[in-house]
Amino acid sequence: MPAIPEFILRKLYVPGSLKASPDGFELQLNNTLAAVTLTGLGLTADEQPCDPQSILLRLPSGQEISAAAVSGDQPFSMTVNTLIGVQVRAPMPRKRLVVRAETREAGTLQFSLPLAGGRPGEKGQSGLLGNLRRKLQSARRAWRTRRDPQHPAYHFTPPANWMNDPNGLICWRGTYHMFYQYNPYDAVWGNIHWGHASSPDLLHWRHHPIALSPDPDGADAGGCFSGCAVDDGGRATLIYTGVFPETQCLARSTGNDLLTWKKHPRPVIPAPPEGLALEGFRDPCVWKEGPAWRMALGSGLRGQGGAVLLYGSQNLTEWQYLGILYQKDPQPTKAVPTGTMWECPSFFPLGEKWVLLLSVCATEGPMTTIYYVGDYHANRFIPQGPARRLDHGAGGCFYAPQTFLSAGGERLMIGWLREARSQDEMQRAGWSGAMSLPRRLSLDKDGGLTCAPLAETARLRREDRQPSSRPSAQMEILAQVQPDAAPWSGVYLEAGPGEAVQIGFDRQQGAVVVDCRPAGGLLSTLPLEKNVEQLDLHLFVDGSVLEVFVDDRQAISARFYVKQPQALRTQWVGDVRASVWNVQKQV
């Protein structure tokens, strides 16, 4: 079973809950992922394993269980959205706390909370000095990030630190705004704020101050999770998930530059609907339907799988539950796992159809993005076929995408390109995560969703416009491949001995293959459904980011880590005609 990424597991920890107690320390865990049966729980504080006898679990009912009493014979059922207090009689860790849970369903789940520079989920030292220290640290990290050749130059990232999902994508008065899940204090997930940038063309971005910060006394004290932006009669409005518990919150802009926001005093949806055993209740996607608003919300039905809840409202502040918009198809195909819970739904009309994009969260199986195309009637979505993969990159590299309308009314999508390296490496680098280039969506005649880069992306090519053979970390490559000419035809990107990425068509597998394994990344495979006479591969290489578009229809996103990406050279294998451009720094 593939490991669950650590940043997901870290969501089990309630931010800011780790505190010294009279006889040791305490913290809180909240399982927001999926119900699991715990057969053991261990803690390691500053590399010292804590004695299980010294760990006490406190349930909301007041019941107390010693970690030493939890075993395969006496398991402990960790249901969803139950706050568990953990009290430990051991010295408060100063550098690192590792939480290790043995579970029946998902094996060993282990995550660490790095504590250096403040407790996880807290801003650390408060006051003027603390602020100054954090600003200095961030400036230092941004300085290092700018000089890091693995850092992308024309894919959007914040100046430093951690970023995940794109949020609130909107074209507002002719300017594109992108918000994003952002930890301003570290290069790992936690302390989630909404970062903000804007762009005239989706290619050149300008950074802005943080748009939303957790309010210690508010419903979003534990973080401002993902959400969307809408135009409410001329006023930009953000609807997002506040945690913990998960509630839906709202903020309205106080100006047209979207730089300042006023939060609604209370959550607009304070709790999940009664009577449903849900796993997750987050990531609102809101749209206008006639005079009314509709919201699709990511969730899962315990023991059944992913579900999207539908809500309705007249004014964005009072919402009514309208039922389940769509829940996991009863017979999902093995090739496209649909997981236990769906994050970040994006639901929108395209041509005559409706499309549902989902980010699959699972305690078992890979994290991926999937889509359904179908019809939407009477508050229900009826897909016309099974789930399909939205992006074919391994390891869920492309995740949590959002869609929005361009100024010209085209449906565009941007997703988060997750790192394929460890937390320690991300912290050493001082940054983590990049956005994909914007992708234009359309439907093909077989009801498949196709995605292609914007034609305008060609403006990023360097002015010489000469197909280039100079080594570079930033390249755009157009390769026409004759699939039948050789067992393997494609492109090698080589940075040094043994450090290479291979992108091409494998005749035996009948698949496009992106192999980043010799460069610290993963192997992605996209089997082609039909025999083709020619394949157009459109590659965007950027430091450690690789986006591959196949025939301007399907995408493979990948990350790779070579020591000197600026030394990347291209080589062609098999029957390939290619053009290469160096691409300029834009962000």
Give me 115's structure tokens: 């504590």
* Residue number with CB closer to ligand FRU (338 or 359): 359
Contact 209, 196 (CB under 8 A): yes
Show the site string, 8-47: x = touches ligand FRU by CB under 6 A, - = not. ----------------------------------------
Sites for ligand FRU among residues 428-487 (CB under 6 A): none
Q: What does the DSSP 8-state code read for residue 50? A: P
161 vs 582, beta carbon nearer ligand FRU: 161
Name the residue nearer to ligand FRU (CB basis): 11 or 155: 11
DSSP 77-146: EE-TT-EEEEEE-SPPPSSEEEEEEEETTTEEEEEEEE-TTS-TTS--S-HHHHHHHHHHHHHHHHHHHH
Residue nearer to ligand FRU on the CB measure, 154 or 416? 416
Pairing assessment for the beta strands 161-172 and 431-432 based on DSSP bridges: parallel
Burial 426-450 (b: 16+ CB within 10 A, else e): bbebbbbbbbbbbbbbebeeeeebb
The least CB distance from residue 410 to ligand FRU, in Å, is: 25
> What single-letter DSSP state applies at residue 482?
-
Task: Using CB under 6 A, pick the residue from 10, 263, 282, 461 that binds ligand FRU.
Answer: 282
Q: Report the alpha-carbon distance of residue 254 to residue 262 in Å, rounded.
A: 7
**Which residues have CB under 8 Å from 59's CB, separation 6+?**
65, 82, 84
- Indicate the residue among 347 and 581 with the shorter CB distance to ligand FRU: 347
Does 192 bind ligand FRU (CB under 6 A)? Our answer is yes
In whole angstroms, how close is the CB of 581 to ligand FRU at the nearest point?
32
Distance (Å, whole) CA 145 – CA 587: 13
Q: Does 283 bind ligand FRU (CB under 6 A)?
A: yes
SS3 per residue for 543-577: CCEEEEEECCCEEEEEECCCCCHHHCEEEEECCEE
Residue 283 or 391 having the CB closest to ligand FRU: 283
For the bound state, the minimum distance from the C-beta of residue 400 to ligand FRU, rounded and expressed in Å, comes to: 4
Active site residue 424: no
Cis-peptide into 244, omega within 30 deg: yes
Beta carbons of 574 and 469 less than 8 angstroms apart: no
* DSSP string for 128-179: HHHHHHHHHHHHHHHHHHHH-TTS-SSS---SSEEEEEEEEEEEETTEEEEE
Instruction: Between 167 and 327, name the residue whose CB sits nearer to ligand FRU.
Output: 167
Q: Is 181 in the site for ligand FRU (CB under 6 A)?
A: yes
Q: How many CB atoms lie within 10 A of CB 507?
A: 15
Among 194, 205, 225, 404, binds ligand FRU (CB under 6 A): 225
Q: Which of residues 128-167 bind ligand FRU (CB under 6 A)?
A: 164-165
Encode 33-68: b = buried (16+ Cβ within 10 Å), e = exposed: bbbbebbbbbbbbeeeebebebbbbbeeeeeebebe
What is the rounded CA–CA span in Å between residue 296 and residue 381? 11
Q: Which of 257, 107, 118, 132 is nearest to 196 (CA)?
A: 257
**Residue nearest ligand FRU, Cβ-based:** 225
Task: Give the shortest CB-188-to-ligand FRU separation in angstroms.
Answer: 12
Given the residues 51, 73, 165, 201, the one annotated as active site: 165
Helix/strand/coil for 464: coil
Q: Which two tokens stand for residue 474?
A: 């930033």
Show the tokens assigned to 160.
């430093």
Q: Which is nearer to ligand FRU, 187 or 537 (CB)?
A: 187
* Residue 344 binds ligand FRU (CB under 6 A): yes
**Contact flag: residue 229 with ligand FRU (CB under 6 A):** no
- Least gap, CB of 7 to ligand FRU (angstroms): 8
Asked whether position 226 contacts ligand FRU by CB under 6 A, the answer is yes
**Shortest reach from residue 408's CB to ligand FRU, in Å:** 29
Q: How far is the CB of 335 from ligand FRU (least distance, A)?
A: 23
Nearer to ligand FRU, 225 or 244 (CB): 225
Closest contact distance (angstroms) between CB of 407 and ligand FRU is 27
Of the candidate residues 138, 145, 213, 241, the single one contacting ligand FRU (CB under 6 A): 241
- Note whether 400 binds ligand FRU by CB under 6 A: yes
Helices (H) and strands (E) counted in the chain, each on its own, are 3, 43
Footprint of ligand FRU on 380-399 (CB under 6 A): 399
Beta carbon of residue 308, minimum distance to ligand FRU (angstroms, whole number): 13
> Which active-site residues does the annotation give?
165
Instruction: Give the footprint of ligand FRU on this chain (CB under 6 A).
Output: 164-165, 181, 192, 225-226, 241, 282-283, 343-344, 359, 399-400
